[in-house]
A and B are shown apart, each in its own frame.
Chain A
Amino acid sequence: MKCDRCPKVATFHITDIEKGKPTELHLCEECAQKFKYTSLSPQAPSAPAQEAGMSEGELEQLERLVCPTCKLGFREFRAQGRLGCADCYTAFRDELLPLLENIHGEVQHVGKAPRRAPQDSRRRQDLIRLRSEMKSAISEELYERAAEIRDQIQQLERELQGESQG
């Protein structure tokens, strides 16, 4: 693959966010070094320089990264610029933090928080997982199984709702 900035071979692959949409850059070592010191995105000019360049091997690993809850691949995220569920933030944490730092210049929330304790995230994951299981049960015509799953979903929803009102 050729470098985006010069005729040399690209060995660094960088994800940048522009206008809320991640874009990929392929750069040779020299251009990648330059890139680190000059911020490209006009959206966040004062933000620290990019996520470090990645080798082909690291990139391949990244391609296999999938959110266990909603099954979104990191590669899809990069193509669409949208995450699939709240747990993607955990699943892609290492990749997202440099991106967030580039956009916002910070990676720790300050400001408003829900007035009650954060919800049990495991139950939330269960809900999303159960929904996708129910869907496949229905498509496989396993209606009894689907009904069981539906009851579990309703039980979980009642619990979450109860907490939110309590």
Chain B
Amino acid sequence: MELNDLAQRRGEWLRGTGAESDIVLSSRIRLARNLVQFPFINRADDTVRAEIERTVRSQLTDVSLGGPRTYLEVDHLERLDRQFLVERQLISRELADSHGARAVYFTDEENVSLMVNEEDHLRMQVFHSGFDLDACWQQISRLDDQLEDCLPFSYSQELGYLTACPTNAGTGIRVSVLLHLPGLVMTGEVKKVFTALQKINLAVRGLYGEGTQAMGDFYQISNQITLGKAEEKLIRSIKDVVPNIIAYERRVRKALVEENRAAIHDKIARAYGTLRSAQAISSQETMDLLSSVRMGVNLGFIDDLPLATVNELFLQIQPAHLQKLRKTVLDSGDRNAARAAYLRRRLTDASSASDTTLG
């Protein structure tokens, strides 16, 4: 698939379907693996990195990723293209900014991606829209088995899969869910959630893995511990806690509407209005306003906008996506104008399209 074709598409994690998808955008599991015959990336010079990449590429022809796939040599990509893949969560920022031979495989559906020469030789991840960690685990464990048939992994009986950083040793698993929590953020309750999660060794990050100051009220919750507990147990620790957070967010939203219906409606209507009429807008402001709009759709204050469109906009207003869609390189000032124009068009189209279907 051509990279430019991707810009028009939504990708698995923004599909907006699946269980609890009003609050849980997506579920993801990644596994870290290293090949026995090579040093870790830290001690691999560019020659060795190239050899690792070749070894993986030669063995991967027989491996099924569950659909047609694209293979990209990340070191041969332009900076904009690398940024674009980071925004889509197909590669990590670390892989984008690293050096030497490195690559990514991903399926057309963008539900499976496999990074070569990231922090570990192999980083594979599986996404599912909504709250569905079991499906992620079944799929990624199967992929892991297939890879292991042709690529011997570093493993010890004592410490499990051996990874470049001891924080990933053992299972090498990172289980995460991406949650939209505008109600908990608005009421300040979100801090209590974080404290409770940290007590049970779960981590909280923003959408693109930045600090806890999350853009658009999106939070990723993931496990910290990888050693000494079986994968299913680590998955269960997330599976058990997420329904509580969902219930908490719903409760807070309900209370907000009951106590301050007019104020909430006003906030949402203003956010929607600004997005439909602004002439220049930053990605930070857009994310914040889209967050209110997304909640407005879920609460029924906005009825002419599909949730899937809102999800898609969160991605398409990101700097690299915007430039891909405009097919031109833009500086930050131009991007703000282009972003506003894009939002005006998409949000007007969306509401007039749904008017016609309703009309």
Contact = CB atoms under 8 A, between A and B. Distances in A.
A161 B148 CA distance: 11
B37 A114 contact: no
Contact of B160 (A109, A119, A124): A109
A17 interface: yes
B152 A160 contact: yes
A154 to B, nearest CB: 11
A111 B150 CA distance: 21
A142 interface: no
A86 B167 contact: no
B167 A42 contact: no
A111 B229 contact: yes
B162 A111 contact: no
A43 B233 CA distance: 19
A165 B290 CA distance: 51
Interface stretch (B105-113, B123-131, B198-206): B198-206
A84 B165 CA distance: 9
Interface size class of B (residues with CB under 8 A): 35 or more
B165 A119 contact: no
Contact of A128 (B39, B159, B224): B39
Interface residues of A, number: 50
Interface string A106-134: 11111111110011000010011001000
B100 to A, nearest CB: 15
A111 B152 contact: no
A28 interface: no
Contact of A164 (B47, B151, B171): B151
B40 A84 contact: yes
B43 A70 contact: yes
Given A80-B42, A82-B119, A86-B154, A107 B228 contact: yes
Nearest to A111: B230
A45 B202 CA distance: 10
A96 B152 CA distance: 24
A43 B203 contact: yes
A157 interface: yes
Given A82-B119, A83-B165, A118-B156, A164 B42 contact: no
Nearest to B48: A131
Given A109-B159, A111-B230, A112-B144, A83 B166 contact: yes
A30 interface: no
B132 interface: no
A43 B226 CA distance: 13
A81 B232 CA distance: 28
Contact residues of A: prevailing secondary structure = loop
A160 B227 contact: no
Interface in B317-344: none
A114 B156 CA distance: 10
Interface stretch (A4-12, A50-58, A97-105): A97-105
A118 B157 contact: yes
Given A99-B166, A100-B227, A82 B40 contact: yes
Nearest to B42: A82
B164 interface: yes
B267 to A, nearest CB: 33
A112 B165 contact: no
A104 B226 contact: yes
Interface in A48-83: 69-72, 80-83
A110 B229 contact: yes
B156 A115 contact: no
A33 interface: no
Interface in B223-269: 224-233
B224 to A, nearest CB: 6
A88 B163 CA distance: 10
Nearest to B59: A161
A38 interface: no
B220 interface: no
A89 interface: yes
Given A43-B203, A107-B228, A165-B149, A84 B39 contact: yes
Contacts of B171: 109, 111-112
A20 B165 contact: yes
B208 interface: no
Given A71-B43, A119-B155, A163-B152, 8 more contacts: A20-B167, A45-B198, A82-B40, A86-B156, A89-B169, A99-B166, A104-B170, A111-B229
6 contacts: A17-B167, A70-B40, A96-B166, A100-B159, A110-B228, A127-B36
10 tightest CB-CB pairs across the interface, nearest first? A106-B228, A109-B160, A84-B43, A111-B230, A86-B154, A104-B227, A85-B39, A164-B152, A82-B42, A20-B167
